Structure 1
């Protein structure tokens, strides 16, 4: 399984998140998506938190395609998003 987590810095967070609503819905409906969330950071007004959990790399790649469109990319000024592989988990 893969976890993708980190943050984006955006110029207009409300617009960015509103524009991503359909993306989140589509991701959650995609085979292999266990969780997909984008959210407003509570402290920094330009920061969007990214959290994704997928069953496999193939599932991520099938969903992502060419990545975000030019309209969303234009709002992103910086990013620190990383991918983590894991083999085991336990429910808390």
Structure 2
């Protein structure tokens, strides 16, 4: 399993509009083969932060989805980002 997690920073005044513009991307991702979860959410404390969480079955599934790429206008709005890819060897119940 692959997990993509981290944070994006956009202008605080533009965050809600940015997230609204991501709706189609989120729908597309969740419908993609191998996507187990995909979420972009407003951080409750930092007004310019967007939390990123994705879970994918395989690298191939992730790369197939990434081939679509973000809208250039959305990419231009990102001021900073800290997002990492994690490989998970196993999952246990809490």
Q: How does the TM-score come out when normalised to structure 2?
A: 0.94
Aligned length: 92
- Point out the structure with the larger helix share: 2
The DSSP-based 3-state class of the residue aligned with 1:18 is helix
Cα displacement (A) at 1:91: 2.5
Q: TM-score, normalized by length of structure 1? A: 0.96
Q: List structure 1 segments (4+ residues) > 3 angstroms apart after TM superposition.
A: none
Structure 1 segments unaligned to the other structure (5+ residues) = none
Instruction: Report the equivalent of 1:76.
Output: 78
> Which residue matches 2:10?
10
CA positional deviation for 1:47: 0.1
* Structural RMSD (CA): 0.9
